Structure 1
Amino acid sequence: MAVLQMVLLLCAGSSLAEDIFPPTVNIIAELEKLKNMDERIQKLEETLAKVLSENEALKTTVQDSQNKLESFQKENGAKKVAFSAGLLESGTGHTGPINTPKILVYKKVFSNIGGAYDANTGVFTAPVKGVYYFRFYGHSHGGTTMAVSLLKNGETQCSAFAWKPTSNGNASNGVVLTLETGDQISTRLWANTWVYDDPESYTSFGGFLIFPL
């Protein structure tokens, strides 16, 4: 009886399969195709995930390279620091004497590479830590003393001095300084002294970065 039931079920299953699938369809082969297609889709998904991951890594690398380039350009730009200026922008005349020290403001700017010198204040501000060279010149006419000091953050570093010259007096000085970013350099006329300038720019101030640290 059990054998008969099994035979009947097989016949019924065969009849049902024939109703669903055409006689020419190989179910096993179709299932194998579906399996192969699923494997290919899975591989494609894995490949896509790998490509997306590599793309993110590439974007990170490009961004890092761009940041390094910008940093290099900024650092390289900061290395280009130099300025030179005469005291009077135009005309002729003396500055001083007055009874208090006075910061000299050099208005006739010949060059200001890096923009570290401020022609409104006469102050140079170090844009980068490094070793700098500064030089300044003073000129005066007879009878009055000329004395100018170079200051670092308000402290005297060196001076140029001419004591009551009988005709014309000239003096200059220079110094190499190690500066931190933001350190300020200026020149100051002593109290009761004067300096002279004209279109020849006898009184001047300049400096440049020798190398960064």
Structure 2
Amino acid sequence: MAAQKTLLLLCVGVSLAQDFITSEQFNKIEQRLRAAEETLKELKVENEALRIFTKALSEKHESMQAENEVKKIAFSAGFLASGSQQFGPFDVRKTLVYQKVFTNTGNAYNPDTGVFTAPLNGVYFFRFYAHSHGGKQMAVSLSKNDQTQCSVFNEKPASNGNASNGVVLSLQKGDKVYTELWSNSWVFDNESSFTSFSGFLLFPL
């Protein structure tokens, strides 16, 4: 009887020991799961921060690319697209519209109006050429926002005459630059583009 009681107590002890080990293992697993959850949360936070950083970097890159594209500004155009023509005289000043576009990088020059509109603040260089036939007065000015900057003039040359001038201008975005034929003056052009207008951005401000 005593032996049976001893065996029974031994079995109960072994069972309790097994229950204790199982509970300890469960606790360790639970702790590892909690640690894994915390690590996962940290990874999610880091991933979100990385996503935001990558997006910002991409937007900055696109902005820089767009800015670099805007900085590519240059145009050159002849007065006539084809044929030959004596233009003028008029009683008032006339804006010269250069129709034969050689290049118009940045599309700042408008071949329908003859006006260059600055797309950004910067320092620009402009040059224009004018041609006249003998016995006819030729006078052309380059203007910025209705203010004359520089001019060329040839008073009834004995034979054909050419003149050119150029200027460096500091422009604000939206400023307009164009050339004007003076009243009672002529210019001539043909397929050789004796009369022309060019400009480009030196550097932005």
- Please give the TM-score of this superposition, normalised by the length of structure 2: 0.90
Match of 2:202 in 1: 210
Offset of residue 73 of structure 1: 0.8
AA aligned to 1:62 is T
Q: What SS does the corresponding residue of 1:120 show, helix, strand or coil?
A: coil
Are 2:26 and 1:31 aligned? no
Query: How many angstroms apart in 2 are the aligned matches of 1:85 and 1:43?
Result: 71
Offset of residue 24 of structure 1: 8.2
Match of 1:155 in 2: 147
Q: What SS does the corresponding residue of 2:43 show, helix, strand or coil?
A: helix
Gaps of at least 5 residues in structure 1 are 1-13
Match for residue 116 of structure 1 among 89, 108, 113: 108
Query: How many angstroms apart in 2 are the aligned matches of 1:25 and 1:125?
Result: 90
| Matched positions, count | 195
Match for residue 78 of structure 1 among 65, 70, 86: 70
Offset of residue 31 of structure 1: 1.5
Q: What is the aligned-residue RMSD (CA, Å)? A: 1.8
Are 2:145 and 1:179 aligned? no
- Please give the TM-score of this superposition, normalised by the length of structure 1: 0.87
Match of 1:5 in 2: none
Match for residue 191 of structure 1 among 180, 183, 192: 183
Q: Larger Cα Rg: Structure 1 or Structure 2?
A: 1
Gaps of at least 5 residues in structure 2 are 1-7
Task: Give per-residue Cα distances to partners, 1:12-43, cap 9 Å, x unaligned.
Answer: xx9xxx8xxx9587221121122112111111
Match for residue 82 of structure 2 among 74, 81, 90: 90
Query: How many angstroms apart in 2 are the aligned matches of 1:155 and 1:32?
Result: 91
Match for residue 64 of structure 1 among 44, 56, 67: 56
